[in-house]
Chain A
Amino acid sequence: MKLDIRGIGWVTPLGIGSGQPDETFGLGPGRLAALKSRLFLETAHPRFGRFDLYAKAGFGAVALALRSAGWERWSRKRAIGLVVGTRRGCLEADWAYYKTAACHGGALASPNLFAYTLPGTMLGEASIQFGLTGPSFVIDDSDGHLAGIHAGLDLIRWGLCDKVAAGWCDVDSKLLDARPDEPCGAVFFLLTKGSDAASWQWNGRELTHGTERVGDLASLAHAVLDDRRPDA
């Protein structure tokens, strides 16, 4: 299947971006800076303060990817899918919630925190914010950097939707040590079926750009950004 990658958004320890000329993409381990909804939206999000870091990073990267594609604003809901690959998911939200439930016989359990103990809640928040009615789910994968993107591409190839915001999101957890050099953050791409002239191709196993196989997240992001350069 030929495809187009219409947008990119990222939130990593090295910065945030939506593919603008003055931005530099970087992926790596470390801690994310404090995230506010105004970094990603024109007006403050009413629930952003409740989000755990996983949800903030993922939501932010989806928002930036939509902005990058020029699809941020909407008046009618759109059949755009949302898929994310993750390893740790919302583990920190799980623990934050359970600390409220594990004392006083559960009488003080927080319903607001509980709502974010599903890794898909972040996708639900993005679907509400941007009016996205396509398929939405999380891929839990031990090496999930490209798993969500591949699953998003499959949704298009299998005819389950025409456009997908697909990506990866993983953040630090005090409960579960990251692997050495394991990156942290979120990166999303806006994927659509492409014309015959499109340079991207997905065959269900391999993603290629021209004749080059793209086998990791950083290479994918750099190739998308190279394509977007005015002189490309």
Chain B
Amino acid sequence: MEAGGTGVSVVHVVDTGVVTALGVGHDALWAGLLAGRTGLAPVRRFATEGYTCGVAACIPALDAERPGLRLDALVQMLFDGAPSILPDTVLLTATTKAGIDQLERLARKQPTALDRILGHQAADGVAGRLGLKGRRCNINAACASATIALALGASQIAQEEADSVLVCGLDLVSEFVFSGFSALHALSASVCRPFDVKRDGLLLGEGAAYVLLMSERGCRQTKRRSLGRLAGWGIASDAHHITAPSRTGEGLILATRQALERAGLTPADVAAINAHGTGSVYNDAMELTAFATIFDPLPPLHSIKGATGHTMGACGAIETIVGLGSLEHQCIPPTVGLLAPEPGGQARISAQAQAISGDYLLTTNSGFGGINASLVLQRSAES
């Protein structure tokens, strides 16, 4: 056993990759976030006149792909130039709707590969692209999919059942999903403004990110440098409502307390929070309620969804990468779209980048079905 807060193996993050509407790679994402840029723009890949809004954070290069091929193209962009990964690496993909744009082709009576809609096909596709021969499956837990996949992957490392686990979150902006959020009246009619008093909804985005987790032994064997650690994780359900969060934030409180306990930390140890922060009225209020219950005072917090859009099943992996960057640079990016923070978040949420000081960052996501997941990230000792 290696040193660790709970007597289990340390979980290192040794490699990451990311593609969002802000660009390909960490540098593009980090620079875009710090500059306060947004990838949200008018949707070009399908007509939006019948919907409550016409904006999403699409990856421009994917607009040129025809429906049905975008998921493969996204995987290609994500792993293009990535270092090789041990073939026996465990693979956990995290997608909510995989290649759901195949249904759009079916509706138009175009040739389709309907099995590409199935979640396990996302795992098969990534494994095939990378030559992975180890165990694999897809985790689907709505917008907490990648966060939960990271928790499950970390558990395997911590329990010394795997030395290398690849978690890959990915989801597309499709007419299927866009129309659904429009039908739910969940999309903003103006600008995505997480934690703003005038927020009026979320805006969708697409993206993919991978996070390669390794044990200490795996790091030594592959001579990989640790970019940071996954120090704690927790998962809990609200048991409250299918599409609305619990107003008390009880599930998020449970998940966050589990994550802190697993990391052997107190709330005071957390330097900053990357919140789910969708920009929807109820989600953001729920999060502030939950965080106020746990933290006193509230640490600096932010959301990236005004910049990347809500990337659904992928967001937990993307935000883990942003969180590691925040710890490395000791700074959290601006909350793009924010004008006037919600009471309870004032002086802690900003449209400007905020300096932070500390070794631990909390990142959380919540999803339909009332699921919540929290991760505690630890700064690399080499930072």
Interface residues of A (CB under 8 A from B): 47, 77, 79, 82, 87-89, 91, 94-95, 97-99, 101-102, 104-107, 109-111, 114-115, 117-121, 123-125, 127-128, 130-142, 144, 147, 151, 154, 157-158, 160, 175-176, 204
Q: List 18 other contacts, CB 8 Å, given A77-B250, A127-B369, A133-B236.
A: A87-B118, A94-B97, A99-B107, A101-B183, A102-B104, A106-B179, A109-B179, A109-B183, A117-B97, A120-B140, A120-B142, A124-B369, A124-B371, A134-B236, A135-B236, A151-B152, A157-B159, A160-B258
Residue among B114, B148, B180, B235 making CB contact with A114, cutoff 8 Å: B180
On whether the beta carbons of B371 and A136 are closer than 8 Å, the reply is: yes
- Chain B nearest CB: distance from A98 CB in Å? 5
Task: Kindly name the residue among A87, A106, A125 whose own CB sees the greatest number of chain B CB atoms within 10 A.
Answer: A106
Cα of A204 to Cα of B156 in the assembled complex, Å: 10
- Chain A nearest CB: distance from B75 CB in Å? 16
On whether the beta carbons of A137 and B180 are closer than 8 Å, the reply is: no
List, in ascending order, chain B residues with CB within 8 A of A125's CB. 242, 369
On whether the beta carbons of A120 and B368 are closer than 8 Å, the reply is: yes
Judge if B237 is at the interface, Cβ distance under 8 Å: yes
List, in ascending order, chain B residues with CB within 8 A of A79's CB. 236, 254
Residue among B114, B156, B242 making CB contact with A128, cutoff 8 Å: B242
Given contacts A115-B242, A134-B236, A140-B118, contact A95 B103 (CB under 8 A): yes
Cα of A138 to Cα of B140 in the assembled complex, Å: 5
The 5 A-B pairs with the shortest beta carbon distances in the complex, nearest first, are: A124-B369, A140-B119, A105-B50, A114-B180, A135-B235
**In chain A, what residue has the closest Cβ to B243?**
A115
Cα of A118 to Cα of B180 in the assembled complex, Å: 11
On whether the beta carbons of A89 and B140 are closer than 8 Å, the reply is: yes
Given contacts A94-B103, A98-B107, contact A140 B123 (CB under 8 A): yes
List, in ascending order, chain A residues with CB within 8 A of B235's CB. 134-137, 160
List, in ascending order, chain B residues with CB within 8 A of A130's CB. 239
Given contacts A89-B119, A106-B179, A133-B239, contact A138 B100 (CB under 8 A): no
Judge if B192 is at the interface, Cβ distance under 8 Å: no
On whether the beta carbons of B141 and A136 are closer than 8 Å, the reply is: yes
Cα of A223 to Cα of B103 in the assembled complex, Å: 41
On whether the beta carbons of B179 and A137 are closer than 8 Å, the reply is: no
Judge if B176 is at the interface, Cβ distance under 8 Å: yes
Cα of A117 to Cα of B243 in the assembled complex, Å: 12
**In chain A, what residue has the closest Cβ to B145?**
A137
Cα of A105 to Cα of B139 in the assembled complex, Å: 32
On whether the beta carbons of A121 and B369 are closer than 8 Å, the reply is: yes
Cα of A131 to Cα of B176 in the assembled complex, Å: 31
List, in ascending order, chain B residues with CB within 8 A of A132's CB. 237, 239
Given contacts A89-B118, A111-B183, A142-B124, contact A127 B142 (CB under 8 A): no
Task: Kindly name the residue among B97, B103, B117 whose own CB sees the greatest number of chain A CB atoms within 10 A.
Answer: B103
